[in-house]
Structure 1
Amino acid sequence: MLKNKESPDQPRGLSGCCWLLSRKTAISILRYSESGSLGNGAIMEDIMTRNLFLTGRVMCGKSTLIKQEVTPFLGDVGGYFVQRLLCSGENHGFKMVEIANSEDYILEKETSSIHEEKDLVVYLSDNGFWECGIKTFETTGVDILERSYRSRKKIVLMDELGRAEEYAPRFRQMVETLLNAQIFVLGVLKKEANMFLDVIRERDDLLVIDLDTWDYQDAVKMVRDFLSEA
């Protein structure tokens, strides 16, 4: 455990459901009767699962929340985050960065040219079109996730999973392996529909918190409780 805390019991009747929760839905689920049926009764402090993801509109604070909460435990955390790249203050791309220490855990940085950066996952090309770096997922991404798994990190960070991964089969397979493993996975899901993301959302062992509908402090508490169980 990253913190000393008793693990709460899961209420009966919740197994096999996909926990894609708005705040209103979460509150109703957290209330259950002593008989185990959902409804009025005792309030469970939290519902724990090994796979927890945040979603929500662009720039709503998903990655910032995760960074704030996992930074004290970076020695136990593997995986990656996606760093926003700015040129003269304007967004020109994103790169995949392996999580290692607090000094390098920077969510955005200024760069003189996008061409100076490696491990790009999406970038603004010279012709003005956005392009995906599929190779980054299939090489760097797979290597990072495999390394995190083999080094037996308590938590693997996937910030974020989105659109390009549909075309990166090796990376998708590694994501599935980790979601199926006895390891805690924390991450961000892009808020859009595609086959890759839809399959993840439909898993019965995964909780998705939508920051567009959740109270932010409630989401913070859920992430903290999740980390305390790792």
Structure 2
Amino acid sequence: MIKNIFITGKPGCGKTTLIREILKELKIPARGFFTQEIRREGERIGFEIITLTGKKGILAEKGIKSSYKVSKYNVVLRDLEEIGVKEIKEGLKENSLIIIDEVGKMELFSQKFKKVLSIVLESENKILGTIMLAPYRTRSDAGLKPNSFCDRIKQRPDTKIFYLTKENFQEIKEKIKNLLK
């Protein structure tokens, strides 16, 4: 039985929008978080996490100190772990649909995030999330191999990966809604 649903695709194809629309249409109990850009004067300066209950935190930002970096953004694990991971744990207690936007390079620096995601994958809770498009190879001082973690998720028999494009948006939305009903 499929219980873990992940959407992948190129940046800007509508992954987050798709999840928001599905939640709005199905009206099912859900906990988790979305990731969105932080912009200042039209320029992207970072990313924030926003929980479904309205809590916000910084995921990554230019110009802040951090041991972890993706492109020009320094990753802040504290808010991901204190806000995002906590929200996922609450969803586990409530047997809610767990929303994770996203399982990506920045999030995978956090061992606490990976641990709670592993727990959710093994739980009775369904997951609706986004996952990075393809495995990637990166130099990491922490010795992390985030690509192998994502590969294991994608290969699970209880997991379905949907590749989203602007052209198949409605079709994928209906397929996911049917899996969640």
- TM-score range (shorter-chain normalised) is 0.7 to 0.9
In structure 2, what residue type is equivalent to 1:125? Answer: G
Matched, 1:188 2:95: no
What secondary structure is seen at the aligned counterpart in 2 of 1:200?
helix
1:139 aligns with 2:82: yes
Any gaps of 5 or more consecutive residues in structure 1? Answer: 1-47, 105-117
Q: CA deviation at 1:75?
A: 5.7
Structure-2 residue corresponding to 1:163: 105
Give distance in 2, aligned partners of 1:215 and 1:72: 18
- 2-structure distance, mates of 1:183, 1:126: 35
For normalisation by structure 2, the TM-score amounts to: 0.81
Say yes or no: does 1:176 pair with 2:118. yes
Q: Conserved in 1, the CA contact under 8 Å of 2:100 and 2:127? A: yes
Segments of structure 2 that go 5 or more residues without pairing to the other structure are 66-70, 136-146
CA distance in 2, matches of 1:157, 1:175: 11
Larger radius of gyration: 1
- Taking every aligned residue pair, what percent have the same amino acid on both sides? 24
After superposing the two structures, state which structure 1 stretch, 50-59 or 69-78, moved more: 69-78
**Structure 2 residue 63 is the aligned partner of structure 1 residue 125:** yes
Q: Secondary structure at the match of 2:45?
A: strand
3-state SS in 2 of match to 1:54: strand
> Structure 2: how far apart are the matches of 1:221 and 1:140?
30
Instruction: Report how far residue 126 of structure 1 moved.
Output: 6.4
Amino acid at match of 1:59: G
Task: Please state how far the C-alpha of 1:80 moved relative to its aligned partner.
Answer: 0.8
- The offset of 1:221, in angstroms, is 1.0
- TM-score, normalised with respect to structure 1: 0.65
Aligned residues: 165
Of stretches 137-146 and 172-181 in structure 1, the one that deviates more from structure 2 is 137-146
Q: How does 1:41-120 map to 2 (within 5 A)?
A: 49-73=2-26, 76-100=29-53, 119-120=57-58
Tell me, in whole angstroms, the C-alpha distance in 2 between the residues paired with 1:126 and 1:147: 29
